[in-house]
A and B are shown apart, each in its own frame.
Chain A
């Protein structure tokens, strides 16, 4: 009851935000928060719910981004039309990485994800058809509305919002169905889950493929908005780290955790980039490193969890005595 009122209020604020803050900088900032929230929410499905930490998610982001720019360059498709191509490629790559590594302990999976992402970056840097080191561009002038090429960030803001709501809707459905329960069980105790008939390897793979497909949509949207992609922006390890940190900072395994993380990190990064004038790339790594250490040390379950726990503990805890009586 109370929760749905809060959610509606926040949703209303998100909807009117770009109408209240009309400067191009703030509208673009809002759109970017939503874009990264899409990617981080997609990561959350495998990294948060299933507890399998992918450190190479940019490879799926890159699939989506490169699919849109490559199909525009070679076949003249509107960038957004390549969404299914990017998704299929991502799901395929996820299967290739996941099948051999998800049955092993989590570290092998994490390492494999980094390795494949870096390998993809190296390959793309050397493939002429994908723009090699220079990158690929989208339409210079919009040919029709389907090119989704706008000067204002406002249309992107609402497009991203719709996609984000769809991703969160899907996550919510998953959270409350058998696969969501199974993923949490696997994350908590894989051996026990398997003893209850949970096909752990298969469910982790499903989560990974679903996460990969959705991440690629974020990549396509990114390329559509910027009209340009190169190996650094589309396949750089920094983007993988960014996606992971947003989810972990906000709260991995919580529906709105990644959104909270994106709403904190994206403005921080944009403001510091503005102040430092683009010379901040090295510093970004340092800042991310520091954030990782702070999360690991003080808020392992994320800021949103911290706030929710505070709210919950404000209410009288009746059940604790009961627990002691029975146990």
Chain B
């Protein structure tokens, strides 16, 4: 297994936000995490990346227990992420943002630059490589975060709502991008509210509700699960319709 979480629990004071969740991913898997707002998806995600330390439970990366390791230690070991609220280096250029990622594997600025340009080409940002990251809109920033993460040459990429705030066309382009990345052999964890994304990409889905895992299975299985429909999809379908996404949950 490339990444395993075993009984991960996270509490904030008296509030249990993630309640004993386990996952395991092999190389090339795509895991989707869905659930209503505040269900604990990002908290669980941050326990995997090291931004938060789980209250109990363990995280295993490539056979090594990384539960107590910092985000930078996990990054060196092949884990990369994007943030739900974009965290780009605002005063640096798009190219420099990606170079920071590339520097994880080289000291040489010329090599980092070349690697960064390759990745920017892949994600379609090469034309704006010299613009300041602060001048990009939300979709541009989310793409930039993916590029930056890819530049670290990771084995597993975790995306926290990388497609929120995108138009329907942009979402389809982003799905294509993730597919392209997956085809290089990448393992992915995707947190999304947009069911279209989950259905077209994920092989395995975990549904969160109030910190608990309430369902797990293929996208088809979980979308048919009555508990999921009550807790989440019923509300989502209405919301998606209002935003112009046709209900893909067939």
Q: Tell me the A residues contacting B by CB distance below 8 Å.
A: 176-178, 181-182, 184-185, 188-189, 191-200, 319-320, 322-324, 326-327
Given known contacts A195-B81, A323-B128, A326-B128, is B88 in contact with A189 (CB within 8 Å)? yes
| Cross-chain contact of B135 among A178, A194, A200, A320 (Cβ < 8 A) | A320
| B89-A194 in contact (CB<8A) | no
**Contacts A/B (CB < 8 Å), 18 sampled:** A178-B103, A178-B107, A181-B100, A181-B103, A181-B112, A184-B96, A192-B89, A195-B80, A195-B83, A196-B151, A197-B76, A197-B104, A319-B128, A320-B135, A322-B131, A323-B128, A323-B136, A327-B128
- Cβ of B185 within 8 Å of any chain A Cβ, yes or no, is no
B40, CB-defined interface residue at 8 Å: no
**Taking each of B90, B131, B152, which has the highest tally of chain A beta carbons within 10 Å of its own beta carbon?**
B131
> Is B124's CB under 8 angstroms from A326's CB?
yes
- CB pair A177–B71 under 8 Å, yes or no, is no
Partner of B100, one of A185, A319, A326, A327: A185
For residue B164, give the distance in angstroms from its CB to the closest CB of chain A.
15
Which of chain B's residues have a CB closer than 8 A to the CB of A200? 72
Q: Are B81 and A326 in contact (CB under 8 A)?
A: no
- Closest chain A residue to B140 by CB distance? A327
Tell me which of A181, A195, A327 contacts B99 (CB under 8 A): A181
B91 touches A188 (CB 8 A): yes
Tell me the bound Cα distance from A197 to B79 in angstroms.
Answer: 9
Distance from B59 Cβ to chain A, minimum over Cβ atoms (Å): 15
State A327–B132 Cα separation when bound (angstroms): 12
Question: B211 at the A/B interface (Cβ < 8 Å)?
Answer: no
Q: In the docked arrangement, what's the CA distance between A196 and B90, Å?
A: 15
Closest CB in chain B relative to A240 CB, distance in Å? 26
B88 is contacted by which of A177, A192, A320 (Cβ under 8 Å)?
A: A192
Bitwise, B76-101 to A at CB < 8 A (1) or not (0) is 10001101000111111000100111
- Shortest Cβ distance from residue B78 to the other chain A in the assembled complex, whole angstroms: 10
Interchain nearest-CB distance for A195 vs B (Å): 5
A196→B104 contact, CB < 8 A: yes
Nearest residue in B to A196 (C-beta to C-beta)?
A: B101
Q: How far is the CB of A174 from chain B (nearest CB, A)?
A: 12
Cα of A199 to Cα of B127 in the assembled complex, Å: 30
Give A196 to B82 CA distance when docked, in angstroms: 10
The residue that A185 contacts in the complex, of B92, B112, B130, with Cβ under 8 A, is B92
Q: A196-B104, A326-B140, A327-B137 are in contact. Are A189 and B89 (CB under 8 A)?
A: yes
Q: Which of A195, A323, A326, A327 has the most CB of B within 10 A?
A: A195
Cβ of B75 within 8 Å of any chain A Cβ, yes or no, is yes
- Given contacts A178-B103, A181-B109, A323-B128, whether A195 and B136 have CB atoms under 8 Å apart is no
Expressed in whole angstroms, the minimum distance between the Cβ of B85 and any Cβ of chain A is: 11
> Is the pair A197, B152 in contact by a Cβ cutoff of 8 Å?
yes
What are the residues of chain B within 8 A of A320 when measuring CB–CB? 131, 135
Q: How large, as a class, is the contact surface on chain B?
A: 35 or more
Asked if A182 contacts B71 (CB within 8 A), the reply is no
Interface contact A188-B75, CB-CB below 8 Å: no
Interface flag for B41 (CB, 8 Å): no
Which residues from B are CB-within-8-Å of A185? 89, 92, 100
Bound Cα distance A184, B88 (Å) = 12
CA distance A196 to B139 in the complex (A): 20
Please state if B103 and A322 are interface contacts (CB–CB under 8 Å): no
CA distance A199 to B70 in the complex (A): 9
Instruction: With both chains docked as a complex, state the minimum distance between the C-beta of B199 and any C-beta of chain A, in angstroms.
Output: 27
B92 contacts A188, CB within 8 Å? yes
Question: Whole-angstrom distance from the CB of A152 to the nearest CB of chain B?
Answer: 43
**Whole-angstrom distance from the CB of B43 to the nearest CB of chain A?**
15
Given contacts A193-B100, A194-B71, A198-B100, contact A188 B76 (CB under 8 A): no
Find out whether the CB atom of A323 lies under 8 angstroms from the CB atom of B100.
no
Min CB gap B129→A, angstroms: 10
**In the assembled complex, which residues on chain A have CB atoms less than 8 Å from the CB atom of B88?**
189, 192
Using Cβ atoms and an 8 Å threshold, which residues of chain A touch B51? 191, 195
With A196-B104, A198-B100, A323-B135 known to touch, is A184 a contact of B128 (CB < 8 Å)? no
Are A195 and B137 neighbours in the complex by a CB distance under 8 Å? no
Kindly state whether residue B149 has any CB partner on chain A within 8 Å: yes
Please give me the residue from chain A that is nearest to B82 by CB atom.
Answer: A195
B152 touches A327 (CB 8 A): no
Contact A181-B87, Cβ < 8 Å, known A200-B72, A323-B131, A327-B136: no
Residue on A nearest B94 in the bound complex, by CB: A323
- Residues in B with CB closer than 8 Å to A178 are 103, 107, 109, 112
